């Protein structure tokens, strides 16, 4: 880490650090100054133009000592390595503690655990028939709701009421016109227009429900590690070790929003998220579908997006998740939430 990086780590909103941390920072600084004071170590491989910078660095070393020590200390305090920033880690660990104190819903005989989900997704069409010609994609946002009913005996029949996907948000008249045409063309598609499904154990479409891409849901609930680091390692292995950290957080959010994760596993998932490098506090007053919570997120440079999970800090329950564009795309301006999901869980006495 060079001096500029150390200075960039400095934050003004951090309180005093423990003496041991100050001493560690001071030792790092003195070691660095001593190393820089050997010209052969810095000039042998450096161009002549670098010399004035080196001399200024030596002359200013004493005056900047306190500042640099502060920078080193702040780096230790604010950015524990590896893992989320200190603020994000505190919020996730507090959510884990609140989760343990919040009772899981009790579903009695004849009752159902009802999971209401509202989602928004980007949808688009590629215009032009000739693949060799210039073609363009027109996109908009669809919104839809679904209601999942899980019986007390989870091996019994689940009911899934999926409503129609409705185009709701447009950034051009062109997109609105294409969305209307596309909706009309999909009138016979139940996946887009809605359907009521029933399946034992929730195995809709003949497929077993999975956690993290490759573990059956029921098995995962019972056997996944409750140790945060072991759980994070397992998630990475189940999904794909080469996936980005943003995709790992996305997988954790997907597991939380199933609505059937027990409190001890939810708490472990929050703590696992706190171990992901690059996770930061995004917004303490995030609003999703009328519900306010704390947003924790991580940027994905490859996608040009940021993935957020939004938590109720009082209960530790997941409010939802969202994906926000960090840069302007062909259709969506920077800052647009191009996908989000809000979740609410309750116990009901009947199902469709």
Closest CA to 306 of 293, 322, 318: 322
Tell me: pLDDT of 57 over 50: no
In tens, the pLDDT along 194-253 reads 999 999 999 999 999 899 888 999 899 999 999 999 999 999 999 887 889 999 999 999
In tens, the pLDDT along 285-338 reads 898 888 899 999 999 988 899 999 999 988 888 999 999 999 988 889 999 999
Cα 26 to Cα 16, 18, 55, 123, 320: the distances in Å are 15, 12, 21, 54, 43
SS3 for 31-93 is: HHHHHHCCHHHHHCCCCHHHHHHHHHHHHCHHHHHHHHHHHHHHHHHHCCCCCCCHHHHHHHH
Q: For residue 37, what pLDDT band results from cuts at 50, 70 and 90? A: very low
| Bridge partners for 320 per DSSP | 310, 342
pTM for the full predicted model? 0.72
In tens, the pLDDT along 61-105 reads 444 444 333 443 333 344 444 688 999 999 999 999 998 887 788
């Amino acid at each position: 880490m060079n001096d500029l990086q150390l200075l960039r780590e400095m934050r003004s909103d951090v309180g005093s650090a423990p003496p041991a941390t100050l001493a560690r920072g001071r030792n790092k600084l003195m070691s660095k100054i001593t190393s820089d004071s050997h010209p052969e170590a810095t000039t042998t491989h450096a161009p002549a133009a670098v010399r004035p910078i080196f001399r200024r660095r030596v002359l200013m070393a004493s005056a900047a000592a306190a500042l640099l020590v502060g920078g080193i200390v702040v780096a230790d305090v604010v950015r524990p390595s590896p893992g989320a920033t200190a603020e994000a880690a505190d919020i996730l660990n507090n959510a884990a503690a609140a989760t343990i104190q919040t009772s899981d819903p009790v579903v009695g005989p004849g009752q159902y655990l009802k999971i209401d989900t509202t989602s928004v997704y980007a949808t688009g069409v590629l215009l032009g028939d000739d693949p060799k010609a210039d073609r363009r994609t027109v996109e908009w946002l669809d919104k839809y709701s679904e209601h999942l009913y899980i019986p007390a005996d989870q091996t019994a029949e689940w009911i899934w009421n999926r409503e129609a996907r409705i185009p709701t948000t447009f950034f051009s008249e062109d997109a609105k016109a294409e969305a209307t045409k596309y909706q009309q063309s999909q009138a016979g598609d139940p996946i887009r227009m809605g359907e009521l499904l029933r399946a034992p154990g929730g195995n809709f479409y003949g497929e077993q429900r999975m956690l993290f891409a490759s573990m059956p849901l029921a098995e995962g609930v019972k056997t996944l590690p409750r140790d945060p680091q072991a759980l994070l390692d397992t998630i990475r292995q189940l999904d794909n070790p080469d996936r980005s950290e943003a995709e790992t957080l996305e997988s954790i959010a997907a597991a939380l929003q199933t609505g059937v994760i027990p409190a001890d596993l939810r708490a472990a998932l929050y703590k696992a998220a706190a171990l992901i490098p690059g996770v930061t506090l995004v917004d303490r007053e995030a609003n999703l579908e009328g519900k306010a919570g704390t947003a924790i997120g991580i940027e994905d440079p490859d996608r040009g997006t940021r993935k957020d999970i939004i938590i109720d800090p009082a209960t530790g329950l997941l409010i939802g998740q969202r994906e926000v564009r960090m840069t302007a795309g062909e259709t969506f301006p920077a800052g647009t939430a191009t996908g989000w999901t809000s979740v609410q869980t309750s116990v009901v006495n009947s199902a469709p």
